[in-house]
Amino acid sequence: MRTTALLLLLSLGTFAQSKTAAKRPNIVFIFSDDHAYQAISAYGNKLVQTPNIDRIAQGGVLFRNALVTNSICGPSRATLITGKYSHMNGYKANEGKFDVTQMLFPRVLQQHDYQTAWIGKWHLGSLPEGFDYWRILPGQGFYYNPNFIEKGKDTARVGGYVTDLITDFSVDWIKNRDSSKPFFLVVAHKATHREWQPDTQDLGAYDHINFPLPSNFYDDYKDRIAAKNQDMTIDKTMRMVEDLKVHVDWQRKTGLFSRMTPAQQAPFQAYYEGVTKDFDEKKPTGKALAEWKFQRYMKDYLATARSLDRNIGRLLDYIDASGLAENTVVIYASDQGFYMGEHGWFDKRFIYDESMRTAFMMRYPGVIKPGTQSDALMANIDWAPTMLDIAGVKAPADIQGRSFLPLVKTGSKNPAWRDAVYYHYYEYPEPHHVYPHFGLRSKQYTLVHFYGETDSWELYDLKKDPTQQHNVYKDAKYQQVIGGLKKQLKGLIEEYKDEEAMKVFNSSRS
């Protein structure tokens, strides 16, 4: 009799446990590459619409101050999966092999019975760990007919357009997963990375738009040594053939074009021959050339983003139609911000606004009220601990970020939060000659120290100078502010244990 009761109790226990397990939310993390918040309608862009990305924001929260701690690809990915700064996870630049033997939060999820998968661009040198399934692009990957490396299988070339393929693989994985467990899936797109090759159906989608030049397109970089030293202007750095597809040798089909099938190449070639004709007729030089390049850049970049948005719509439709939506958190984020002609630039890297600030939105039915917006200084070190929080798992002590869930939950009472984000960038000189630098960003200020071949400081008052063109570091009026911010910066360097930065900070003579 007693045994039966015990058995009953035990089985009830198991039932209760599996019920809680079943209730733990799934997490779909859609991660794009170089997709600027300026290019997203949820962030106020009125020239092009991104209705599907906007759906995620409308269904939950949009972060207006989501910041990255080192604005390039590999380091951002390493921070996503460790919740740590580059100097702690060891991946400071896009080079070498990321150490996958360290604590990775997806592995912690696995230990708590989550199924985990990474599909798409990985870009960390080593092969993934902490994922039950993965299918990744080697390195940067290709837009057309890319190769994929699949867990346990050989590398294979797959026919099609990369954004469609990554979405197809993701939907298939969700369909075929073990549905007795909750899951965490990263859908890691290649779009909208350079060299912006649109899907053939999107060619010319924005040709009717004359994009306005950013107010600081012709920035003179006065009083800014690092901005002067960079090699990332649309005018000088952007390449006519590879980036802008003008005068491509279609016979020889070099580089990226070499992978296209004749059926893919035909509309592509016809379209860019039209672009080349326009160029040859106008023969732009000087400012006219810089502006011609800017228009072409915007059109190709945004056409590439069009497929990204459409495919995100397809994934969301599947999540909704399959009944998963109610118990699935959907996140959209870009690995960093990107310049859309501000300061005359493309690319990223700098602590300045357009590269440090990234798109981030999250839909969490029943927990976050649709249409919520947050101005909190949230950073990519917070992404891992937030996802662990969603899964009900305690974050390992060495994670450096914090869950932002308490800030945005329905009925949250404005809990205490950080008032500045620490930043440290390393990769120099190639590919874009941006000096290494560290600094902080608060709601009002950006203070930054450039080091290595230079020893210089900059301060921006973001309230008075939102386009960050006036370095007021030497301005007498700001000396007191600088004293306070330097103390705060030193405190952050200590808190995050950045020994290299501390040495540089202490030896700076300027």
Interface positions, 438-467, toward ligand SGN (CB under 6 A): none
The burial class, CB within 10 Å (0-12 / 13-18 / 19+), for 318 is middle
Among Ca ion, ligand SGN, none, partner that 87 touches (CB below 5 to 8 angstroms by kind): none
Q: Which of 73, 298, 356, 459 binds ligand SGN (CB under 6 A)?
A: 73
- Of 290 and 359, the one with the shorter C-beta distance to Ca ion is 359
Q: Which of 54, 132, 195, 202 binds ligand SGN (CB under 6 A)?
A: 195
Task: Write the binding mask 27 to 56 for ligand SGN: x where contact by CB under 6 A, - elsewhere.
Answer: ------xx----------------------
Segment interacting with ligand SGN, rule: CB under 6 A, options 193-201, 303-311, 370-378, 416-424: 193-201
Shortest distance (Å) from residue 426 CB to ligand SGN: 12
DSSP readout, 356-376?
HB--EEEE-TTTS-TTEEE--
Among Ca ion, ligand SGN, none, partner that 347 touches (CB below 5 to 8 angstroms by kind): ligand SGN
Shortest distance (Å) from residue 356 CB to ligand SGN: 14
- Of 73 and 440, the one with the shorter C-beta distance to Ca ion is 73
The burial class, CB within 10 Å (0-12 / 13-18 / 19+), for 380 is buried
Tokens of 312: 């995100």
Rounded CA-CA distance 360/98 in Å is: 24
- Of 299 and 348, the one with the shorter C-beta distance to ligand SGN is 348
Under 8 Å CB-to-CB from 327, ≥6 apart: which residues? Answer: 23, 25, 26, 365
Positive or negative: CA dihedral 397, 486, 90, 125 = positive
Rounded CA-CA distance 375/201 in Å is: 37
Rounded CA-CA distance 39/141 in Å is: 22
Rounded CA-CA distance 78/227 in Å is: 27
Tokens of 109: 């999820």
Rounded CA-CA distance 312/381 in Å is: 24
- Of 174 and 238, the one with the shorter C-beta distance to Ca ion is 238
Shortest distance (Å) from residue 221 CB to ligand SGN: 19
- Of 310 and 349, the one with the shorter C-beta distance to ligand SGN is 349
Q: Using CB atoms, what's the residue nearest to Ca ion?
A: 73
- Quick one: which of 413, 205, 175 has its CA closest to 298? 205
Q: Which of 58, 431, 478, 481 binds ligand SGN (CB under 6 A)?
A: 431
- Of 34 and 342, the one with the shorter C-beta distance to ligand SGN is 34
Under 8 Å CB-to-CB from 403, ≥6 apart: which residues? Answer: 382, 385, 386, 388, 389, 395
Q: Which of 72, 234, 260, 330 binds ligand SGN (CB under 6 A)?
A: 72
Q: Which of 24, 189, 194, 441 binds ligand SGN (CB under 6 A)?
A: 194
Residue ranges binding Ca ion (CB under 5 A): 33-34, 73, 335
Parallel, antiparallel, or unpaired for β 328-334 and 360-363?
antiparallel
193 binds ligand SGN (CB under 6 A): yes
* Cα–Cα–Cα angle for 443, 409, 80, rounded to 5 degrees: 65
- Of 123 and 437, the one with the shorter C-beta distance to ligand SGN is 123
User: How many amino acids of this chain bind ligand SGN (CB under 6 A)?
Assistant: 12
190 binds ligand SGN (CB under 6 A): no
Three-class secondary structure of residue 390 per DSSP = helix
- Of 349 and 363, the one with the shorter C-beta distance to ligand SGN is 349
* Cα–Cα–Cα angle for 420, 334, 486, rounded to 5 degrees: 20
Segment interacting with ligand SGN, rule: CB under 6 A, options 125-133, 188-196, 270-278, 307-315: 188-196
- Quick one: which of 247, 218, 212 has its CA closest to 233? 218
- Of 34 and 202, the one with the shorter C-beta distance to Ca ion is 34
- Of 25 and 198, the one with the shorter C-beta distance to ligand SGN is 198
Largest CA distance in the chain: 94
Among Ca ion, ligand SGN, none, partner that 449 touches (CB below 5 to 8 angstroms by kind): none
Are 62 and 372 in contact by the 8 Å Cβ rule? The answer is yes
Q: Which of 94, 115, 311, 400 binds ligand SGN (CB under 6 A)?
A: 94
One-letter amino acid identity for 415? P
Shortest distance (Å) from residue 431 CB to ligand SGN: 5
Three-class secondary structure of residue 439 per DSSP = strand
Binding interface with ligand SGN (CB under 6 A): 33-34, 72-73, 94, 123, 193-195, 347, 431-432
